[in-house]
């Protein structure tokens, strides 16, 4: 009798294990591209099923059920959004929950092109927004050039600096910049360095991050001797020192952060409410606190 | 089309397998010779960790070790002026750490399935331990060890997470094929990424297929 029971358990165990794995896969929603972080303490929770289904789940805006919108925003906006703006917005709009995914504007653009179901997109450069608008993925009429940012040169804190400014940036062994092809901060870095005639030399010893936060942390860790990031990023960590701002006139245009509504958004009203909120005085005050300036 | 990632990946994988191959065999032999079961089990677990944990975990620990601001990294930097982080050597380091468990486990498995009677026979015939290892154990274990080596090589070729963390993405120096693919996809250059993908698939297929072919040929003589 015992032997029979043992056999049954042996047969059931692997099936049970598979069932547990299948259940946990369903409920955790392993969607690799929508890296929406579940914020601790904030009620932005949503079941993973929302991300793994092909068509967006029907959200009734009229019936008073909670609507959830997904913001895809440039990496440099992460702290201001997560720490202040999203909680502020949700407090003022109890019927709307906000989820957000942060990465380089280039990566997010690719994700949107590949079907990421975001409602609002805020990039760190006009380039990605324009390209998406041309592909009809962004509602052209909804685009607002909201913020301005500055590009700075940083070095690791606590390590003997190899460079003192843009002019001797080539004294560094490894320079961290965003990949100009996908990261706006990298585009701006390339532009500034090209206007200074230093681009080729810098590129030869550059490590290219796929988003500006990666660049920032490479410098913070001391792995790179210098890096070019936004002034707002430099403010978020004590492990880097800002030694120079991009020289006057080195950037043809200001660093502009536009925001727009994704044309395939299923929650247009809520998305518009969020975009309107971002233009209010109190939201702009938060941005300024983090080092951005309102675009005049 | 920049083909430097191909060269870098091959160089890195080659250097890594050179280290991993001998290290894996040596460590496997050592672990087998340990008599206390508990120590053996614990050691085996620790040595297998890089295989079962996400490579980013290995990257995390490596960064803590060799990062410029961390103890070991600082030591090398101040006394030898060598910066390990973000050098080509770091790509090799990442590949070695990640592929080591594969080599270790294959070698250990190969050694353990060697017929002990043959080893005893060698001992009764008065062969030294060293001779027994080379003339009796190794020939028997070789197929398993070689296949482990091939797996470790291809794993080193495909290493991404830890490499990105400790070696960075320096085109022409540390941008391996997987990093190049990631960067191109991030930039939306799907065609360029596709070329790299086909290259790495072809190389891996050739190697693994070649290994299988040799194994089949060996079998046909038995």
Query: Which residues of chain A have a CB within 8 Å of the CB of B65?
Result: none
Tokens in use for A186?
A: 């990298």
Beta carbons of B187 and A209 less than 8 Å apart: no
Query: Can you list the residues of chain A whose pLDDT is less than 50?
Result: 28-62
User: DSSP letters along B168-194, please?
Assistant: --BTTTT--HHHHHHHHHHTT-HHHHH
Q: Are B188 and A181 in contact (CB < 8 Å)? A: yes
pLDDT at A34: 38
Is there a contact between A179 and B187 if contact means CB atoms under 8 Å apart? yes
The predicted structure's pLDDT at residue A33: 37
Looking at chain A, which residue has its C-alpha nearest residue B173? A205
Per-residue pLDDT tens for B39-58?
999 999 999 998 899 999 99
Nearest to B186 among A107, A207, A224 (CB): A107
3-state percent breakdown (helix, strand, coil) of chain B, nearest 5 = 80, 0, 20
DSSP 8-state secondary structure symbol assigned to residue A262: B
Residues of A in contact with B86 (CB under 8 A): 174, 207, 218, 223-224
Q: Mean pLDDT of all residues in chain B?
A: 89
Residue closest to B83 by CA, chosen among B167, B22, B27, B25: B167
List of chain A residues whose C-beta atoms are within 8 Å of the C-beta of residue B172 = 204
Chain A closest CA to B177's CA: distance in Å? 14
The pLDDT of residue B84 is 84
Q: A135 with A245: CB under 8 angstroms?
A: no
User: What's the rounded Cα separation, in Å, for the pair A91 and A115?
Assistant: 30
The answer to whether domain A151-245 has CATH 3.40.190.10 is yes
Q: Does A123 touch chain B (CB under 8 A)?
A: no
Question: Residue B134: is its pLDDT beyond 60?
Answer: yes
Distance CA A194, CA A67 (A): 46
Stretch B165-172: mean pLDDT: 89
Q: Who among A205, A208, A222 is closest to B169 (CB)?
A: A208
Across the interface, do B168 and A218 touch by the CB < 8 Å criterion? yes
Counting one residue from chain A and one from chain B, the pairs whose CB atoms sit within 8 A come to 75
- How far A73 CA sits from the closest chain B CA (Å)? 15
What does the alpha-carbon distance between residue B28 and residue B9 come to, in Å, rounded to a whole number?
Answer: 27
CATH 3.40.190.10 range(s) for chain A read 62-148+256-294, 151-245
A 10 A CB-CB count for B67 gives 21
How many CB atoms neighbour CB A49 within 10 A? 12
Q: In this predicted structure, what is the pLDDT of residue A60?
A: 44
Write the pLDDT tens digit of every residue in B191-200.
Answer: 999 999 999 9
Instruction: Enumerate the residues of chain A whose CB falls inside 8 A of the CB of residue B64.
Output: none
* Structural domains of chain B sorted by starting position, each given as residue range(s) with its CATH number in brackets: 4-219 (1.10.3720.10)
Any idea which residue has 């973000």 for tokens?
B86
Interface test with A, best of B168, B173, B175, B178 (most A CBs within 10 A): B168
Which residues in chain A are closer than 8 Å to B69, comparing Cβ atoms? Answer: 156, 158-159, 221-222
Whether residue A207 and residue B86 make contact (CB cut-off 8 A), yes or no, is yes
> CB of A74 within 8 Å of any CB in chain B?
no
Residues 161-200 of A with CB under 8 A from B: 173-174, 176, 179, 181-182
Minimum-distance CB partner of B188 among A182, A203, A223: A182
Q: Kindly indicate the confidence band of residue B218, based on its pLDDT and cuts at 50, 70 and 90.
A: low
User: Is the pLDDT assigned to residue B31 strictly greater than 60?
Assistant: yes
pLDDT number for residue B86: 87
A204 touches chain B (CB under 8 A): yes
d(C-alpha A91, C-alpha B190), whole Å = 41
pLDDT in tens, A71-128: 999 999 999 999 999 999 999 999 999 999 999 999 999 999 988 999 999 999 999 9
A91 CA: distance to closest CA in chain B (Å): 34
C-alpha A243/C-alpha A212 separation (Å) is 17
Nearest CA in chain A to B172: A204
Task: Give residue A30's pLDDT.
Answer: 41
Q: Which of A173, A176, A221 sits opposite B67 (nearest CB)?
A: A221
- DSSP H/E element including A285: helix A281-289
Q: Which of A110, A174, A182 sits opposite B86 (nearest CB)?
A: A174
Residues in chain A within 8 Å Cβ distance of B189: 181
Return the CATH architecture of domain A62-148+256-294.
Answer: 3-Layer(aba) Sandwich (3.40)
CB B102 within 8 A of CB B152: yes
**Cβ separation B68–A107 shorter than 8 A:** no
Q: How far is A107 from chain B (nearest CA, A)?
A: 5
What is the rounded radius of gyration, in angstroms, for the C-alpha atoms of chain A? 23
A223–B86: do the CB atoms touch at under 8 Å?
A: yes
* C-alpha separations of B58 from A112, B46, B63, B164, B187 in Å: 31, 12, 8, 11, 27
Largest CA distance in chain B: 67
């Amino acid at each position: 009798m015992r032997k029979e029971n043992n056999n049954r358990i042996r047969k059931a165990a692997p099936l049970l294990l598979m069932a547990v794995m299948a259940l946990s896969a369903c409920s955790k929603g392993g969607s690799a591209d929508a890296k929406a972080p579940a914020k601790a303490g904030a009620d932005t929770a949503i079941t993973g099923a929302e991300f793994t289904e092909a068509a967006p789940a029907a959200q009734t805006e009229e019936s008073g059920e909670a609507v959830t919108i997904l913001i895809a925003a440039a990496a440099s906006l992460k702290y201001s959004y997560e720490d202040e703006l999203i909680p502020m917005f949700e407090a003022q709009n109890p019927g709307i929950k906000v989820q957000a995914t942060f990465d380089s504007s280039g990566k997010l653009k690719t994700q949107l092109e590949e079907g990421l179901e975001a409602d609002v997109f805020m990039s760190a450069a006009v380039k990605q927004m324009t390209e998406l608008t041309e592909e009809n993925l962004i509602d052209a009429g909804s685009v607002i050039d909201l913020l301005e940012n500055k590009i700075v040169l940083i070095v690791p804190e606590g390590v003997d600096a190899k460079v003192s400014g843009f002019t001797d940036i080539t004294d560094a062994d490894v320079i961290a910049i965003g990949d100009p092809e996908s990261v706006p901060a990298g585009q701006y870095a390339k532009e500034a360095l090209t206007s200074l005639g230093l681009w080729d030399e810098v590129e030869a010893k550059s490590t290219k991050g796929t988003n500006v936060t990666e660049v920032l942390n490479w410098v913070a860790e001391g792995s790179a001797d210098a890096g070019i990031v936004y002034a707002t990023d430099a403010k978020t960590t004590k492990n880097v020192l800002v030694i120079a701002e991009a020289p006057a006139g080195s950037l043809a245009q200001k660093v502009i952060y536009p925001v727009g509504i994704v044309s395939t958004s299923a929650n247009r009203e809520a998305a518009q409410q969020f975009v309107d909120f971002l233009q209010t005085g109190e939201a702009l005050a938060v941005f300024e606190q983090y080092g951005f300036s309102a675009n005049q | 089309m920049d083909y430097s990632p191909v060269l870098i990946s091959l160089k890195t994988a080659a250097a890594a397998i050179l280290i991993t191959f001998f290290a894996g065999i040596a460590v496997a032999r050592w672990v087998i010779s340990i008599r206390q079961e508990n120590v053996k089990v614990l050691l085996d677990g620790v040595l297998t960790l890089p295989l079962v944990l996400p490579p980013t975990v290995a990257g995390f620990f490596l960064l803590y070790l060799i990062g410029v601001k961390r103890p070991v990294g600082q030591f090398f930097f101040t006394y030898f002026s060598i910066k390990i982080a973000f050098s080509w050597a770091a790509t090799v380091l990442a590949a070695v750490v990640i592929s080591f468990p594969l080599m270790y486990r294959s070698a250990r498995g190969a050694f353990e399935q060697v017929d002990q009677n043959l080893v005893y026979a060698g001992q009764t015939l008065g062969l030294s331990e060293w001779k027994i290892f080379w003339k009796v154990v190794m020939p028997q274990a070789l197929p398993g060890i070689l296949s482990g080596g091939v797996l470790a090589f291809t794993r080193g070729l495909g290493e991404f997470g830890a490499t990105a963390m400790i070696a960075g993405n320096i085109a022409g120096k540390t941008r391996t094929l997987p990093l190049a693919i990631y960067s191109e996809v991030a930039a939306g250059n799907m065609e360029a990424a596709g070329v790299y993908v086909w290259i790495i698939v072809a190389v891996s297929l050739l190697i693994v297929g070649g290994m299988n072919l040799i194994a089949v040929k060996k079998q046909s003589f038995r």
